[in-house]
């Protein structure tokens, strides 16, 4: 079974708090291969960096593979 990670970008800062937006997911298969699925591309003041964050358990996600 693949491990699933969220891809986030730092959208803005407001009153010392950072607003993160999920732009896609990364799947890591048991053999170590990685796949990325982007749902959108950040625009505006995006510096080109994405953060990979472990997905928080909300329920079962359907795996694409």
* Number of compact structural domains in the chain: 1
Residue 31 belongs to a domain: yes
Q: Is residue 63 one of the residues assigned to a domain?
A: no
Residue 9's domain spans which residues? 3-54
Q: What does the pLDDT look like over 41-51, one tens digit per residue?
A: 888 888 899 99
Q: Determine, yes or no, domain membership for 24.
A: yes
Say whether pLDDT at 32 is over 90: yes
Q: Which residue has the higher pLDDT, 36 or 11?
A: 36
Does residue 37 lie in a domain region?
Answer: yes
Query: Does residue 20 lie in a domain region?
Result: yes
Q: For residue 38, tell me if it sits in a domain.
A: yes
Q: What's the mean pLDDT when you consider all of the chain?
A: 87
Asked if residue 61 belongs to a domain, the reply is no
pTM given for the model: 0.76
Does a structural domain hold residue 41? yes
Condensed to tens digits (0 to 9), the pLDDT of residues 12-30 reads 888 889 999 999 999 999 9
- DSSP-assigned letters across all residues of 3-44: EEEEEEEEEEEETTEEEEEEEEEEEE-TTS-EEEEES----S
């Amino acid at each position: 079974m693949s491990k699933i990670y969220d891809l986030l970008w730092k959208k803005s800062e407001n009153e010392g708090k950072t607003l993160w937006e999920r732009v896609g997911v990364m799947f890591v298969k048991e053999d170590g291969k990685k796949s990325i699925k982007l749902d959108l591309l950040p625009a505006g003041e995006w510096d080109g960096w994405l953060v990979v964050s472990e997905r928080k358990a909300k329920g079962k996600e359907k795996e694409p593979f």
